[in-house]
Amino acid sequence: MFSREDCKSAGGILMALKIDEFRKFIEENKGKRKFKQTVELAVNFKGIDFTKQNNRLNLDILLPNGNGKSLKLAVFASDKSILDEATKNNIQIITPSEIESMGSNPAKMNALLELDLYAQPNLMPSIAKSLGQFLGPRNKMPRPLLPGITLTSVNNDSSKRVSIRSKGKYLPTVHSIVGTEDMDPVKLYENVNEILDNIKKKVGSNNVRSAYVKLTMSKPIKIM
């Protein structure tokens, strides 16, 4: 993801989010590494007091063209109907008895970072107690399976969803993956716009200071 140095280094680059310039930037920077680079977005804010709970961002956004990745799902559950649905969809199950032991096992906790996590709502307090200090700062706390949300639907949407979270009280910046370098630049462009539109609906256009796009190992470019 972006570092503070990344954002400073792009300070002299100013551009509107035009598709031809965006495409040129992607094409010039892709295929230069031995791994598939992600395309990432950083948005900086102004005039927002993130010490206030109601100002903090907590958005789940479905990208129109997917994020180019597909994390395996896992669910913390004990309810039979949830367990049956998880089994049907080949979703990993983490039982209540495993939660506490995971909190003292670094290898198992790190393995959770590679999963898209969901949880039966009444298990959230136990998860927070045992795993919250590890998962919370990494923006990996499981999403509760609230009424109307099924494992089948989240499984179908897993490759489209990105989460936008305010990570600290005083850090006026959020980051998100928007796709991978092998995706069509037009589709990446549309994904960026979808994220920005959702953020602006939450905080207002006047509170967005700037936004940058970069590939994993490229320099960022200022897009607004």
CA atoms 156, 158, 159, 165: torsion sign: positive
Q: Give the count of domains, the chain.
A: 2
52 and 122 co-located in one domain: no
In which band, very low, low, confident or very high, does the pLDDT at 118 lie, cut at 50, 70 and 90?
very high
Q: Containing domain of residue 30, as a range?
A: 4-67+160-222
206 and 218 co-located in one domain: yes
Structure tokens at 32: 């230069």
137 and 84 co-located in one domain: yes
60 and 164 co-located in one domain: yes
pLDDT at 156: 78
Query: What are residue 40's phi and psi, to 5 degrees?
Result: -125, 150
pLDDT at 2 over 70: no
pLDDT at 14 over 50: no
Looking at 113, 129, 157, the residue that finishes a domain is 157
pLDDT at 97 over 60: yes
149 and 197 co-located in one domain: no
Q: How far apart are CA 137 and CA 157, in angstroms?
A: 24
**Which residue has better confidence, 15 or 108?**
108
Structure tokens at 46: 């102004």
**Which residue has better confidence, 185 or 165?**
185
Beta-carbon contacts of residue 35 (< 8 Å; ≥ 6 apart): 216
Question: What type of residue sits at position 79?
Answer: D
Q: How far apart are CA 25 and CA 165, in angstroms?
A: 27
56 and 88 co-located in one domain: no
Concatenated DSSP letters of 49-114: -TTSGGGS-EEEEE-TT--S--PEEEEE---HHHHHHHHHTT-EEE-HHHHHHHTT-HHHHHHHTT
DSSP strand pairing (143-144 vs 115-119): parallel
59 and 167 co-located in one domain: yes
Question: What type of residue sits at position 181?
Answer: E
pLDDT at 194 over 80: yes
DSSP single-letter state for residue 161: E
pLDDT at 17: 61
pLDDT at 1 over 70: no
- 12: domain CATH number is 3.30.190.20
In which band, very low, low, confident or very high, does the pLDDT at 67 lie, cut at 50, 70 and 90?
confident
Contact present, 36 and 180 (Cβ < 8 Å): yes
pLDDT in tens, 38-56: 999 999 998 888 888 888 8
137 and 166 co-located in one domain: no
Q: What percent of the chain has pLDDT over 90?
A: 46
Beta-carbon contacts of residue 159 (< 8 Å; ≥ 6 apart): 66, 67, 68, 69, 70
In which band, very low, low, confident or very high, does the pLDDT at 157 lie, cut at 50, 70 and 90?
confident
Structure tokens at 205: 């256009």
